């Protein structure tokens, strides 16, 4: 019985993923086509990148609620630099990444120096950014040829190189965002699981005081976690802008919840019962497979939300209910 | 009259003959797609509110009349989701796709890809920037013209106007062209104030602006607000300033709440011009059926609007959109794209 429980904890979610894939491919033969597999991966890539960022903050027992709005703000800033300043690809990307670093540092400052609880600090940051992203354009979306407040037309456009990031496919099949997501997943995995820094971060997460007494630079690593989270979110924002080809005020609304859900589902992958990079990526994939399959079977969106919630709840029960590490 | 009766008779004979041979359903007009199992996808950017709901009902009704199987993809006002759904629809392989709203920048390359793959595509109120994708629009010029003509009918051709306008929004820009022309044609019509914002909540923001405008220009008698959210704001300001008897509001578009606002006792909102979203849904499917049947509906399909006055709403006791559809025939049907072979809902 214990054995069964161990297996359920360890492989439950992977079995669920496999079952879903089998079910959808029987119901809709087009589901398993190579193109659709990459459509799924493309659709989860941005969420997965955000989930990887949250994972870093979760590792140090923090929580970044501002990822969605950081991504949205980066998207708007990158679009602004390109459309309004006609600044070109590199400037747009650097600006967006700068936004990520800055947001991470401020989040770190609030939680470390000002001792604001993580949830509250990043919630505040979320609201701040939601408003801030609309200030430069007075609440409007940014698109090529938009008219500025002075009445003249914006000079710039989305460059081919920038759109390449969100739309191009390597070898005509692998979307660029998927490649970026996989690279970031591997880097995050190696960093968290295979370096001393990663182990220190988990140590801080499980017992901050003990880690501090053992000589870990707690404050430094908390900053590192938030800057990682901010930068990952801004990479997500860049890819989002490149994908839709405009700075769209309503895009990015769902990113926070989907990213956090993926990271939390990730707790349950392989019985880790803690935040982990590979789990977050698989969690995002699970949600992506589910949504793609349900969309293909033409289920209405509210059912999809319901089922997404159901999977999250089930995954959390796997993690906390069945796990022996329950504290 | 005689001719059409004969035609109907001929059709009836033909369909009886068909029934006898194939056992197919008898209909007045037989869809060219009946029994072919053809599927179409409706990929919609707007999913919430009165408009998409009515539009979808039209799409459903016309697709059913044509015997087309319909799948709906809801992007819920998210351009990135609409993009993946379009991608998915192309991959799943439909015979036709109807795009509803969205943005040229985020759809164009995929829409091109759909056309290259032999999928017929029509776009409602979004420019797919491809000559093979017909664009279905409401006739914004006519909408503005009909409201303004009513204003001239009610107030003569010399009045002081408050005008609500936000540049850069294509339908508002088209409506603005008509107002600009009209002011040139009738020098007595004077625009004494121009304002507007799209900040949410729009009616509240407009109300604040309008309150200031009316205080500064008490001689305004006509407010032209070619978008219903603007008109709601003006009405708030007019009511608060107690000007309901001296100002008349002319607008565009219609919804359940607009009808209620227009029918409030002593309401200043006297007329609006609108196209039934359900009709636009039907026309979109008909345009797609043209393409699927190897015919060309034209690159721009516009659906003519209907003038709706406060007087008419009161006389017919119209309380909501359902009443309007039931009681005003010109609002509930349209002869746009109705050749003989087209079965109508």
B262-273 pLDDT per residue, tens: 999 999 999 999
What pTM, to 2 d.p., does this model score?
A: 0.78
Task: Count CA atoms closer than 13 A to A8's CA, side-chain side.
Answer: 15
Average pLDDT over residues A188-211: 93
Query: Which residues are CB-neighbours of A314 under 8 A, at least 6 positions away?
Result: A16
- Mean predicted confidence (pLDDT) in B286-290: 97
Fold match, B36-136+277-303 / B140-274: yes
pLDDT at A250 over 90: no
> Which of A244, A254, A292 faces B88 most closely, judged by CB atoms?
A292
Say if the Cβ atoms of A298 and B72 lie within 8 Å: yes
DSSP-derived 3-state class of residue A169: strand
B14 pLDDT tier (thresholds 50, 70, 90) = very low
What is the C-alpha separation between B257 and B50, in angstroms, rounded?
10
Contact of B92 with chain A, judged by CB distance below 8 Å, is answered with: yes
Strand pairing report for B248-252 and B222-225: parallel
* pLDDT reported for residue A315: 83
Q: What average pLDDT is seen over chain A?
A: 89
Query: From the list B74, B79, B87, which residue is nearest A301 (CB)?
Result: B74
**Fold classification of B140-274 (topology level):** Rossmann fold (3.40.50)
pLDDT for the residue numbered B15: 47
CA dihedral B203, B208, B210, B212 (to 10 degrees): 180
Q: Which residue has the higher pLDDT, A32 or A101?
A: A101
* Helix H or strand E segment including B217: none
Determine the distance in angstroms separating the CA of B121 from the nearest CA of chain A, rounded to an integer.
19
- Identify from A75, A248, A308 which residue to disrupt to test chain B contact, counting B C-beta atoms within 10 A and taking the largest count: A248
pLDDT top residue among A147 and B55: B55
Residue B219 has pLDDT above 80, yes or no: yes
Read off the pLDDT of each residue in B321-326 and give the average, rounded to a whole number.
Answer: 89
Mutate to test the interface with A, among B49, B77, B88, B103 (most CBs of A within 10 A): B88
Query: How far B167 CA sits from the closest chain A CA (Å)?
Result: 8
Q: Where are the domains of chain B?
A: 1-30, 36-136+277-303, 140-274
Mean pLDDT of B122-130: 92
pLDDT at residue A269 in the model: 85
User: How does residue B150 score in pLDDT terms, banded at 50, 70 and 90?
Assistant: very high
Q: ω into residue B201 within 30 of 0, thus cis?
A: yes
Which of B52, B71, B79 best probes binding to A when mutated, by most A CB atoms within 10 angstroms? B79
Least confident piece of the model among A6-15, B189-198, B303-312: A6-15
Report whether A316 contacts A224 (CB < 8 A): no
- Residue A323 confidence (pLDDT) above 70: no
Q: Residues of A near B (CB-CB distance < 8 A)?
A: 28, 30, 33, 35-36, 39, 42-43, 46, 138-140, 143-144, 146-147, 151, 158, 167, 240, 243-246, 248, 250-251, 253-254, 292, 295-296, 298, 300-301
Are B163 and B194 within 8 A, CB to CB? yes
Which residues are CB-contacts of A178 (< 8 A; sequence separation ≥ 6)?
A: A38, A41, A42, A45
pLDDT of B127 above 50:
yes
What does the DSSP 8-state code read for residue A316? H
CA distance B40 to B234: 41
pLDDT bucket at B186, cuts 50 / 70 / 90 = very high
Residue by residue, DSSP assigns B36-56 as S--EEEEEES--SSHHHHHHH
Q: What is the largest CA-CA distance in chain A?
A: 72
User: What is the percentage of chain B residues whose pLDDT exceeds 70?
Assistant: 92
Which has the minimum average pLDDT: A91-100, A279-288, B24-33, B81-90?
B24-33
Q: pLDDT value at position A191? A: 96
Count of other CB atoms within 10 angstroms of residue A105? 14
Give the best-scoring range by mean pLDDT among A36-40, B78-82, B131-135, B200-204.
Answer: B131-135
Higher pLDDT, A301 or B271: B271
- What residue in A sits closest to B87 (Cα-Cα)? A39
pLDDT of A153 > 90? The answer is no
The pLDDT of residue A183 is above 50: yes
B329 vs B16: which has the higher pLDDT: B329
More reliable by pLDDT, B77 or B336: B336
Architecture, CATH, for domain B36-136+277-303: 3-Layer(aba) Sandwich (3.40)
A325 pLDDT higher than 60: no
> What's the mean pLDDT in A32-41?
88
pLDDT tens digit sequence for A95-139: 999 999 999 999 999 999 999 999 999 999 999 998 898 888 877
Average pLDDT of the segment spanning A191-206: 93
- What are the residue ranges spanned by the domains of chain A? 2-321
Choose between B168 and B127: higher pLDDT: B127
Give the chain B residue nearest A167 (alpha carbons): B109
Inform me whether the pLDDT recorded for B4 exceeds 60.
no
Instruction: Return d(Cα A279, Cα A185) in angstroms, integer.
Output: 10
Q: What is the pLDDT of residue A272?
A: 77
Q: Cβ separation of B80 and A139 shorter than 8 Å?
A: no
Is residue B313 pLDDT above 80, yes or no? yes
3-state class (DSSP) for residue B210: helix
Average pLDDT over residues B26-54: 84
In the prediction, which pLDDT does B7 show? Answer: 53
- Chains A and B form CB pairs within 8 A to the count of 75
Contact B84 A42 (CB under 8 A): yes
In Å, how far are A92, A123, A172, A208 from A157, measured between CA atoms?
Answer: 11, 33, 25, 48
Query: Residue A327: pLDDT above 80?
Result: no
Q: Distance between CA atoms of A268 and A317, rounded to whole angstroms?
A: 9
Look at B259 and A141; give whichever has higher pLDDT.
Answer: B259
Q: Which CATH number fits domain A2-321: 3.40.1710, 3.40.50, 1.10.3470, 1.10.287?
A: 1.10.3470
Shortest CA gap B47–chain A (Å) = 10
Closest CA to B281 of B298, B301, B296: B301
| B79: enclosing H helix or E strand | helix B79-92
- Give the closest-approach CA distance of A261 to chain B in angstroms: 18
Distance CA A88, CA A95 (A): 11
* Chain A contact probe: residue of B73, B84, B129, B198 with most A CBs at under 10 A: B84
pLDDT of A230 above 70: yes
By C-alpha distance, the chain B residue nearest A144 is: B105
Residue B299's pLDDT is: 93
CA-based nearest distance A36→chain B, Å? 7
- Whether pLDDT at B142 is above 90: yes
Contacts of A94 (CB under 8 A, 6+ apart): none
Q: Over range A296-323, report the average pLDDT.
A: 82
Q: Assess whether pLDDT exceeds 50 at residue B224.
A: yes
φ/ψ region of B13 (left if φ > 0, alpha if ψ in -120 to 50, else beta) reads alpha
Distance CA B327, CA A200 (A): 73
Distance from CA of A100 to the nearest CA of B (A): 21
pLDDT at residue A253 greater than cutoff 80: no
B105 touches chain A (CB under 8 A): yes
The pLDDT value given to residue A162 = 93
Whole-number Å distance between alpha carbons of B197 and B166: 6
Q: Specify the pLDDT at position A1.
A: 56
* pLDDT at A241 (0 to 100): 93
Chain A CB contacts of B78 below 8 Å: 250-251, 253-254
């Amino acid at each position: 019985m214990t054995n069964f429980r161990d297996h359920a904890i360890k492989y439950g979610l992977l079995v669920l993923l496999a079952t879903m894939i089998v079910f959808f491919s029987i119901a809709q033969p087009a589901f398993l086509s190579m193109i659709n597999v990459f459509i799924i991966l493309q659709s989860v890539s941005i969420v997965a990148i955000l989930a990887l960022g949250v994972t870093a903050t979760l590792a140090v027992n923090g929580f970044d609620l501002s990822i969605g709005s950081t991504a949205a703000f980066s998207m708007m800033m990158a679009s602004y630099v390109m459309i309004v300043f006609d600044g070109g690809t590199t400037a747009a990307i650097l600006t967006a990444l700068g936004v990520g670093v800055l947001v991470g540092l401020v989040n770190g400052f609030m939680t470390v120096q000002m001792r604001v609880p993580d949830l509250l600090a990043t919630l505040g940051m979320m609201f701040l950014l939601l408003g801030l992203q609309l200030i430069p354009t007075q609440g409007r979306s940014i698109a090529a040829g938009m008219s500025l407040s002075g009445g003249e037309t914006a000079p710039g456009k989305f460059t081919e190189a920038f759109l390449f990031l969100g739309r191009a496919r390597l070898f005509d099949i692998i979307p660029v965002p998927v490649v970026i997501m996989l690279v970031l997943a591997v880097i995050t995995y190696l960093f968290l699981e295979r370096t001393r820094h990663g182990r220190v971060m988990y140590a801080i997460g499980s017992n901050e005081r003990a880690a501090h007494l053992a000589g870990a630079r707690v404050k430094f690593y908390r900053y590192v976690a938030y800057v990682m989270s901010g930068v990952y979110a801004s990479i997500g924002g860049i890819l989002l802008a490149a994908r839709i080809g405009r700075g769209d005020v309503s895009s990015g609304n769902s990113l926070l919840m989907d990213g956090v859900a993926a990271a939390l589902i990730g707790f349950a992958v392989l019985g880790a019962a803690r935040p982990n990079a590979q789990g977050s990526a698989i969690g995002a994939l699970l949600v992506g497979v589910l949504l793609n399959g349900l969309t293909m079977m033409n289920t209405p969106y509210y059912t999809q939300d319901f089922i997404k919630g159901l999977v999250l709840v089930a995954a959390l029960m796997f993690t906390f209910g069945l796990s022996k590490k329950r504290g | 009259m005689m001719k059409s009766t004969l035609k109907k008779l001929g059709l009836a004979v033909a369909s009886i003959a068909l029934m006898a041979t194939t056992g197919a359903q008898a209909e007045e007009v037989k869809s060219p797609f009946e029994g072919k199992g053809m599927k179409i996808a409706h990929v919609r950017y707007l999913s919430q509110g009165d408009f998409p709901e009515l539009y979808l009902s039209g799409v459903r009704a016309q697709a059913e009349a044509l015997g087309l199987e319909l799948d709906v993809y809801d992007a819920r006002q998210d351009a990135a989701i609409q993009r993946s759904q379009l991608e998915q629809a192309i991959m799943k392989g439909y015979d036709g796709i109807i795009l509803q709203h969205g943005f040229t920048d985020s759809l164009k390359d995929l829409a091109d890809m759909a056309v290259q793959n032999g999928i017929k595509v029509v776009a409602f109120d979004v420019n797919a920037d491809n000559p093979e994708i017909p664009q279905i629009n409401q006739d914004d010029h006519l909408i503005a013209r009909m409201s303004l003509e009513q204003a001239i009918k009610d107030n003569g051709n010399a009045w002081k106007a408050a005008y609500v306008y936000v540049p850069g929004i294509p339908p508002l820009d088209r409506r603005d062209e008509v107002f600009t022309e009209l002011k040139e044609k009738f020098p007595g019509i004077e625009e004494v104030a121009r304002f507007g914002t799209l900040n949410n909540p729009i009616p509240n923001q407009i109300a604040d602006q309008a309150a200031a405008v009316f205080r500064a220009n008490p001689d305004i008698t006509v407010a032209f607000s070619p978008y219903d959210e603007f008109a709601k704001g003006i009405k708030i300001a007019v009511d608060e300033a107690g000007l309901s008897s001296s100002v008349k509001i002319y607008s565009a578009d219609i919804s359940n709440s607009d009808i209620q606002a227009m029918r409030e006792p002593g309401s200043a909102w006297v007329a609006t011009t609108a196209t039934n979203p359900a009709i636009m849904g039907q026309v979109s499917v008909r345009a797609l059926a043209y393409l699927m049947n190897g015919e060309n509906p034209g690159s721009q399909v516009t659906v003519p609007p209907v003038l709706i006055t406060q007087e008419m709403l009161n006389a017919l006791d119209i309380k909501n959109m359902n009443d309007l559809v039931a009681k005003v025939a010109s609002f509930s049907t349209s002869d746009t794209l109705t050749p003989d072979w087209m079965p109508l809902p």
